[in-house]
Amino acid sequence: FVDYHEDLLFTDLAHFNQKLADWLVFYNAERPHHRLGQKPPLSFLQQHQPQCQRWWTHTAG
């Protein structure tokens, strides 16, 4: 991600951070992963370890 958006690091850090947050949500909650049976990591975690709380974010609203 950083390689493709490196210019934003030096010109618009807030925009870089927003794009990074959006990418992380996409990568972990929407993008299917081959090694997880074509499921996103959060779906896989919820299915196989429903008691786990790692999928909760710790961000202020």
Give residue 30's pLDDT: 86
Give residue 3's pLDDT: 93
In this structure, how many other beta carbons lie within 10 angstroms of the beta carbon of residue 41?
17
Give residue 54's pLDDT: 60
- Residue of 43 and 58 predicted with greater confidence: 43
DSSP class of residue 56?
A: S
Instruction: Look up residue 19 and give its two tokens.
Output: 């794009």
> What is the chain's Cα-based Rg?
14
* CA angle, 51 then 56 then 61, to 5°: 150
The most confident of 13-27, 31-45, 47-61, by mean pLDDT = 13-27
Written as one letter, the residue type at 46 is Q
Give residue 27's pLDDT: 86
